[in-house]
Amino acid sequence: MSEEDIKEEIKKLRNEIASLKEQLREAQERRKERGYKFYIDIGNNIRESVEDALESVAESIHGELEKSIFIGPRGVKIIKGKVSEKEEAAVDFSKTSEIMNALSHEHRLKILKELMSGGKYVNELQEKLQEITTSTLLSHLKILEEAGLVVQEKVRGRYLITMPGRTAYKMAFRVARFVEESDLE
Amino acid sequence: MIWHNYQLDDTVQKVREATTLWKAEKGIIEISKDTLAVLIKVNNNKIGCVFHGDGKLILDTIIETDEGAIGKPIEKEIEKPFIMIGNIEQFLQNLVVANRQDLAKKGYAEEREFIERAGDLCNRFFGESTRVHGCGTFEQGFLFAFTSGEISGLDMLITKDSKIVYKTRNMTFISNKNKIVLKTPGKTVLSNDGKSIVLNAQHSY
């Protein structure tokens, strides 16, 4: 089929759609004249209606997200409000990236999980995570410490998970679970 | 004990070997070999010492809460003269008379220069810290006063057994076993056995 033929076909289709719309409009007018109480307007407003409906759903989801709750081991925490544009603009992407990088290793997530139950010495972590060598463990702890997810006591030497570390771990865990639950296959 | 009428010994001594002045679960103060020392006396009783050498203060101003640890360790080099008040007797056997070379290492031409500098520090301490004058003899505890940069105030560390009070211009840390208070310009944390209240925290839940 040549380009000219295609253009001609499209023109015919447009005319046909215009004709159908006109017939539909006339039919609706007749139904109104006949006094039908209910009729469905599927004419020119159909696109606006669908768009309105979608917007409504989007608003509803957004509203739910604004009052999302996080359920932790010690109860329910409600996130009040949303991140303001000012706060969003102040986000340090470099720091965010550092934190995400610190979380992006299975071993480091396992270390955080162990620290969730309380501060631990290196040998205690080593006992729990026998698949990791001591040097690798120390290297992972350094990355976690630099990201601010873990802090080491200088006197006793124990490693503790920080408040941001605990939050980051819980969020990573929730995202993973959310992805798993969202998989419909 | 009245500390207004303090006197400084007229002999400058030095530490024979590296010494730990204080050590607890949350902190440690060490001084290196050859640190200069002059005794502080009240009514001929040795109540403390002014040291000047290379030292180190480590203090774990960290609070463990159910929501994670808050705070971070403090690690400071102590290069300027500082005061220690407390039972000094245990350290006396580690002190010997300092010679000119020892004084020169810290930039003093003679004993009197160090004693005068120690006196200036003591005047600041006894003049400013009126609140601690009635705290007792510190037979079992220690009080340390450090100069902090160009700022006129002194950083204070008061310890007794497991109790710690650390006060600087920007932070206050009070610890008594599992009861801890940490106040910084950004936040105030009150903790009791892991149950904590965090005020003005940056982390929103």
Domain boundaries, chain A: 3-48, 91-184
Q: Does A83 touch chain B (CB under 8 A)?
A: no
Cα(B161)–Cα(B25) distance, integer angstroms: 10
> Which residues does chain A have within 8 Å of residue B60's beta carbon, measured at their own beta carbons?
153-156
pLDDT tens by residue, A64-96: 444 444 333 444 444 444 566 776 777 788 888
Q: Which among A118, A160, A163 has the least Cβ separation from residue B203?
A: A163
Angle at B177 between CA B176 and CA B178, to 5 degrees: 105
Smallest Cα–Cα separation from B62: which of A102, A116, A168, A150? A150
Does residue B77 register a pLDDT over 60?
yes
pLDDT for the residue A90? 75
Residue B88 contacts residue B78 (beta carbons within 8 Å)? no
Do B205 and A77 make contact, defined as CB atoms within 8 angstroms? yes
Confidence of residue B48 (pLDDT cuts 50, 70, 90): very high
Which of the pair, B129 or B103, is modelled with greater confidence? B103
| Residue A74 neighbours by CB under 8 Å, 6+ apart | B66
State the smallest CA–CA distance between residue A154 and chain B in angstroms: 6
Which of the pair, B27 or B137, is modelled with greater confidence? B27
Please give the structure tokens belonging to residue B175: 């610890």
Which residues of chain A have a pLDDT value below 50?
37-46, 49-50, 57, 60-81
Which spans in A34-133 are helix H? 46-66, 85-89, 93-103, 106-115, 122-128
Confidence of residue B116 (pLDDT cuts 50, 70, 90): very high
Q: Residues of B numbered 91-130 whose beta carbons fall under 8 angstroms of chain A's beta carbons: which are they?
A: none
Smallest Cα–Cα separation from B174: which of B162, A130, B153? B162
Please give the structure tokens belonging to residue B173: 């840390």
Q: Does B66 touch chain A (CB under 8 A)?
A: yes
Residue B94's alpha-carbon distances to A165, B57, B89, in angstroms, are 45, 20, 10
Domain spanning A91-184 has what CATH number? 1.10.10.10
Residue B12 contacts residue B38 (beta carbons within 8 Å)? yes
Residue A69 contacts residue A78 (beta carbons within 8 Å)? yes
Helix (H, G, I), strand (E, B) or coil at B130: helix
Cα(B159)–Cα(B140) distance, integer angstroms: 9
Do A153 and B70 make contact, defined as CB atoms within 8 angstroms? no
Length of chain A: 185
